Amino acid sequence: ETTLKLASAIYLFTIQTADFYARIGDQQRALDWIERAVRNGDERTGWFRRKPAFAAVRDNPEFIRIMESVALTGLKG
């Protein structure tokens, strides 16, 4: 639990946690952690879309929504 608290605060660790959950097949937790990474400032949508570990979630509507939210935020700012 302490490790997950640390991971949620630093986007580099957050995306590593998402990667872990994606690799073990827990798509919902992977998506939750991808969203946390984005909230923490990670806006590398191209990288998220290319990352092999995220292949299973790329077509998930939640993943698409997260990626689109980054694009919309970038256009506003």
Give the tens place of pLDDT for each residue, 3-51: 788 777 776 788 889 999 999 999 999 999 999 999 888 888 888 999 9
- What is the token pair recorded at 72? 């919309």
Per-position b or e across 40-56, b if 16+ CB within 10 A of its CB = bebbebeebeebebbee
- The model's confidence at residue 74, banded by pLDDT at 50, 70 and 90, is low
What pLDDT is recorded for position 26? 96
Distance CA 69, CA 50 (A): 18
Structure tokens given for 30: 């992977």
Say what the pLDDT of residue 70 is: 87
Give the per-residue pLDDT at 65.
95
* pLDDT score, position 61: 96
